[in-house]
Amino acid sequence: MPISLLSHRIPEDIDLPSVTLTDRERTEVRALAEELHRCPAAGQVDDPRWLTQARRQSCRLPVRLLEALRDFRSAPGPGGYLLVGNLPVDAETLPDTPSVADSVERRATVAASTAMLLGQQLGDVFAFRNEKHGALVHNVVPVPALAASQSNGGSVELELHNENAFHPHRPDLIGLLCLRSDHEGTAGTLFSSIRRARVLLADSDVAILRRPRFVTEAPPSFRAGDATTAHCVLNGSFDDPDIQVDFSATRALDDAAGAALRRLGAALAEVASELVLRPGGMAFLDNRLVVHGRTEFTPRYDGSDRWLHRVYVHLDGRPSRSHRIGPGPVLA
Ligand SMILES: O=C(O)CCC(=O)C(=O)O
Ligand SMILES: [Fe+2]
């Protein structure tokens, strides 16, 4: 039986862009992931040789999954997300959920390899040197000292944001693979697409949001961040724009811009969906179209808390070359 990916909280009239693997397809993905464990780079995800191997191996994912990933890449749809269900994650063999800050997975476990296989098929998985030690596979887990923070280690409600909104080379896509749900099974990943919110906005607000009248703070970990360069919150097409905002870190530089930003927040909240990821479920979000957040939940810090693997994807690695430390996948 496929493991349920979703709660029922997404409105039923929305046609979910999703693919749930059959058990046979799940076994095929597991075999590819296990092969990566035996690869010459001793199963180290961040080793360039392993990465090359994972990219090649990703071409052998089940065809139905390849089709869904390829479609999502070119046509992210009005919602800007893709859900994949029944990926190989085995509750029985999982170690305890980590509970320390900046936790990452550098070993090519089946779950980490699976997240990397899907990410490497979509584009180039990369990381920031100043975040999570520059590792490619992040653990999103509740951390006691961060409980009240607006960070992935928190457990209070996390406000809607583009991932690394402040950064010129923020991810094009992010992937979140669930290894373990929270105890109550209620922690929801919130997400909202500017494509759905756009119709709720007055053109006069869009015009303001397309002007560089906003600044976005970098998280404290990004010491090199630049909160002084004003930027637009909406970019590109007037009718189908890209979005760059973090509702806990973006500030308007004048009153009119502040009012437009508040109305944008209200429009995004109105069309937001909530997804309770289940083990083996992975959500990909188009970070150019979608802001995401998370509902609050109650961690116990007992080794069986909620646990996601997160990967960042660039569809084209070339534009960020000047920010890269050498030719590898880590950005300064
Ligand atoms: O916990 C979640 O569902 C998402 C948290 C988040 O914003 C992230 O990991 O980037
Ligand atoms: Fe995030």
| Domains in the chain: boundaries | 18-180+274-331
Residue 72 structure tokens: 């999502």
Q: Which atom of ligand 1 is nearest to the CA of 138?
A: 9
pLDDT beyond 50 at 8:
no
Pairing of strands 18-20, 81-85: parallel
Q: Is 161 annotated as a binding residue?
A: yes
> Closest ligand to 157 CA?
1
pLDDT score of 226: 60
Ligand 1 mean position, distance from CA 162 (Å): 10
Ligand nearest to the CA of 293: 1
| Residue 178: strand, helix, or coil | strand
Length of the chain: 332
Supply the pLDDT for residue 92. 85
What's the confidence (pLDDT) of residue 253? Answer: 98
CA-atom Rg of the chain in angstroms: 19
146 lines ligand 1 (CB under 6 A): no
Q: Is the CB of 158 under 6 A from ligand 1?
A: yes
* Residue 223 pLDDT level (bands cut at 50, 70, 90): low
Provide φ and ψ at 312, rounded to 5°: -105, 140
The pick from 7, 140, 191 for probing ligand 1's pocket by mutation, whose C-beta has the most ligand atoms within 8 angstroms, reads 140
C-beta separation of 54 from 36 below 8 A: yes
Q: What is the mean pLDDT of residues 130-138?
A: 95
What's the gap between Cα 56 and its chain centre? Answer: 23
pLDDT in tens, 24-71: 999 999 999 999 988 777 779 999 999 999 999 999 999 999 999 999
CA 8, CA 167: separation in Å to the nearest integer?
A: 34
Report pLDDT digits (tens) over 285-316. 999 999 999 999 999 999 999 999 999 999 99
**What separation in Å is there between the alpha carbon of 49 and the centre of ligand 1?**
29
- Residues 6 or more apart whose CB falls under 8 angstroms from that of 44 comprise 50, 106, 107, 108
Q: Which residues surround ligand 2, an ion (CB under 5 A)?
A: 163
Domain 18-180+274-331 is classified in which CATH homologous superfamily?
Clavaminate synthase-like (3.60.130.10)
Give tens-digit pLDDT for 182-196: 999 999 999 999 999
Residue 12 has pLDDT above 80, yes or no: no
Q: Is the CB of 309 under 6 A from ligand 1?
A: no
Question: Does position 10 have pLDDT exceeding 90, yes or no?
Answer: no
Known binding residue 163? Answer is yes
> Which residue's alpha carbon is nearest to atom 8 within ligand 1?
152
For atom 6 of ligand 1, which residue has the closest CA?
Answer: 152
Residue burial 293-305, b: 16+ Cβ < 10 Å; e: rest: bbbebebeeeebb
- C-alpha 29 chain-centroid distance: 21
Spell out the alpha helix ranges (H) of the chain: 23-37, 48-57, 63-74, 110-122, 194-197, 203-209, 255-270
